[in-house]
Structure 1
């Protein structure tokens, strides 16, 4: 389990925001703009993200910050 995110499966927004330290509003704006992965509706009231998509995002964000320094 890397960064508290399982290798496969689904993660809820609270788990994502524990690893990617931004606010909910900023996260949803990123989803809307396509910067962050789209969620999957598991049930009417349960939204989650594919763990694999979050790992890809973490990798991309870390590569971006590495090139800035």
Structure 2
């Protein structure tokens, strides 16, 4: 028998920190592919790559995006 953990997902997305797609998905009003397209177009928060297989998003930027997805603009740091 496999050893399984009964994990209860968070009811809200934390304000601070970083999240991966699996943590964001319950709160996203779109599918992963649409979110990826918006990221690529610069209309959604840009990912931060920690390694070849580990990408995460800033929770603060995600909250801004989810509050107003149509008017969200990526902030360009100088």
- TM-score greater than 0.5 by the shorter chain: yes
Aligned to 1:39: 47
Determine which structure has more spread, i.e. the larger CA radius of gyration. Answer: 2
Aligned residue-pair number:
61
Q: Choose between structure 1 and 2: higher helix proportion.
A: 1
Aligned to 1:14: 22
RMSD (Å) for aligned C-alpha atoms? 2.0
Structure 1: gaps of 5 or more residues: 64-69
TM-score by length of 1: 0.75
RCO higher in structure (CA 8 A, sep ≥6): 1
Q: In structure 2, the residue corresponding to 1:27 is in which secondary structure?
A: helix
**CA 9–17 in structure 1, closer or farther in 2 if over 3 Å, else same:** same
The CA deviation at 1:44 is 2.2
Is 1:52 matched with 2:60? yes
Structure 2: gaps of 5 or more residues: 1-10, 72-78
